[in-house]
Copies of this chain bind each other. A is one copy, B any other.
């Protein structure tokens, strides 16, 4: 049996995990695919760096073209990250008939359609299970497990850093800044945490999930994004008191062929299965017209969990190689993309207002909601000794985003409304 030769681009956390799994699980892998799988060559930044795994120095190279132009290599596994340079490597590898497995969410969110098209032209596979939710096989689930269904909603906790921060804030009543600092010390958050905490990382993953779930080419700029950096511990405490947890949710919805995709801090009813996903774990909740409610839970990052998905993709490529059916993945994005307008995007809202403490104020405020046809699920006016104003908490029934914005605009214009402290989407 001819061994399958793999070129590995990158030997950071995930790359190291790929080497460990390919070597550690070799007998199992061979039993499944019928051939040895060999890591033939590895691209590194510095050949002489000390590493936690032993790898023959001859296998290391600092020149990507050593791998991409190597005719012996059947499959490229890209775990180096980056966008433009990496895209160049991948397109060139595909042009040379090499199959590609990548864990690169940024690349797939920005250039997925181009890369998939290049793969199909060259009869090559591109697999990217590890690009979303690390160890959870959510891409397979959407593409194959639910091939028969019409998915109408995907809600994901797809960023472990922000879920860790929000979990700590909720469980310990800690402040955002303190938890972020702790997360950075533990290695859960990067020195520059912007991409995680401002929701961009989650938006990239939701771009991929929405494209696969709705089978239409959703682009990153279609995603409405808001991060967690402005969340206060008071808001989280209010949410808990009302029976909600605050989670950074990616939400992709489809109704009558119109779709919307967003990432924002969301109040999730405590009884909803996604509300109890804590710490660095990820989860993707999928609602299908036929199947109903499902949820997929697991580690969203980490050396071995992410490498599990990468190597599972590698196994799929090798099985296709044996059968001679690489590059035959069906064109997934067969639906035209039609985006919802703000009039079509509906959800419940939580609003916390500070208002003048005098007679008739509540009536005027609820009148503003009525005028814009936003109906209310619950209204709570309560004293807050720490402020001179009265405090009003409103949870609406489903309202369009446009109507909610009209209400907010008219509240802003009211002299009796001192400030709109918080506005959250509500789920569950």
- Residues of B with C-beta under 8 A to A314: 148
Contact B146 A290, beta carbon cutoff 8 Å: no
**Contact for A28 among B150, B291, B307, CB less than 8 A:** B150
Contact B144 A140, beta carbon cutoff 8 Å: yes
- Interface flag for A199 (CB, 8 Å): no
- Residues of B with C-beta under 8 A to A146: 137, 308, 312
Take A140-B145, A148-B21, A148-B314 as given contacts and tell me if A295 and B293 are in contact as well, using a CB distance cutoff of 8 Å: no
CA distance A141 to B141 in the complex (A): 8
Take A31-B215, A140-B141 as given contacts and tell me if A308 and B330 are in contact as well, using a CB distance cutoff of 8 Å: no
CA distance A114 to B305 in the complex (A): 34
Interface string of A21-40 (1 = CB under 8 A from B): 10001001101111000000
**Contact for A297 among B148, B295, B308, CB less than 8 A:** B295
- Residues of B with C-beta under 8 A to A323: 323, 325, 328
Could you tell me the distance in whole angstroms from the C-beta of A136 to the nearest C-beta in chain B?
6
CA distance A194 to B129 in the complex (A): 41
CA distance A293 to B302 in the complex (A): 12
- Interface flag for A304 (CB, 8 Å): yes
CA distance A29 to B325 in the complex (A): 20
Interface string of A287-316 (1 = CB under 8 A from B): 011111111111100101101111110111
| Closest A-B pairs by Cβ, 6 of them | A137-B145, A148-B311, A294-B298, A135-B291, A290-B304, A291-B308
Within 8 A of B (CB), among A206-240: 215
Take A31-B334, A291-B135, A293-B298 as given contacts and tell me if A308 and B149 are in contact as well, using a CB distance cutoff of 8 Å: yes
Contact B290 A294, beta carbon cutoff 8 Å: no
CA distance A422 to B390 in the complex (A): 55
- Interface flag for A17 (CB, 8 Å): yes
- Interface flag for A384 (CB, 8 Å): no
Contact B316 A304, beta carbon cutoff 8 Å: no
Q: Which residue of B lies closest to A277 (CB)?
A: B273
Contact A296 B293, beta carbon cutoff 8 Å: no
Could you give 20 example pairs across A and B, Cβ below 8 Å?
A21-B148, A25-B148, A28-B150, A32-B330, A33-B330, A136-B294, A137-B141, A137-B145, A137-B146, A144-B144, A144-B315, A144-B316, A145-B309, A145-B312, A147-B312, A148-B311, A291-B304, A292-B302, A294-B298, A323-B325
Contact B148 A308, beta carbon cutoff 8 Å: yes
Contact B308 A288, beta carbon cutoff 8 Å: yes
Contact A17 B298, beta carbon cutoff 8 Å: no
- Interface flag for A372 (CB, 8 Å): no
- Interface flag for A195 (CB, 8 Å): no
Contact A298 B292, beta carbon cutoff 8 Å: yes
Contact B305 A290, beta carbon cutoff 8 Å: yes
- Residues of B with C-beta under 8 A to A276: 273, 276
- Interface flag for A96 (CB, 8 Å): no
Take A291-B308, A334-B31 as given contacts and tell me if A25 and B140 are in contact as well, using a CB distance cutoff of 8 Å: no
Within 8 A of B (CB), among A133-183: 135-137, 140-141, 144-150
- Residues of B with C-beta under 8 A to A308: 146, 148-149, 288, 290-291
Contact A297 B294, beta carbon cutoff 8 Å: yes
- Interface flag for A319 (CB, 8 Å): yes
Contact A299 B304, beta carbon cutoff 8 Å: no
Interface string of A358-382 (1 = CB under 8 A from B): 0000000000000000000000000
Contact B25 A135, beta carbon cutoff 8 Å: no
CA distance A311 to B140 in the complex (A): 16
